[in-house]
Amino acid sequence: MKMFSIEYEQELLKQHQETYQRMIELVEQQAQKPPFIQQKNVSKYYDGVSIGTLLKYEKNGLKRYEPIEGGNVFYYTKELDRFMLKNQR
């Protein structure tokens, strides 16, 4: 006894394959990210995230890491990932 139509099963399979492919892409991207990312390089790893966006994120709680002597601003990659996931719209 069939519960679903062939078309529905094919659509489910297609969605499953697309989800699986996206997961593979995300794992590969994560493997390429360094543990800390310099502020000016964030957009290289995160599409659409500009310095202005990062400043908004900081106002909403994202932590930045700065050297004692001044200079470059860094973000911990895992914190940035968690923050972006938590604050998705």
As given in the structure block, the two tokens for residue 5 are 């139509």
E-strand ranges in the chain read 36-38, 74-76
Query: What per-residue confidence (pLDDT) applies to 34?
Result: 85
Do 51 and 40 contact (CB within 8 A), yes or no?
yes
Residue 57: CB atoms within 10 Å: 19
Give the pTM: 0.60
Q: Mean pLDDT by 10-residue block, N- to C-terminus, for the chain (89 residues)?
A: 87 92 75 84 86 91 83 90 81
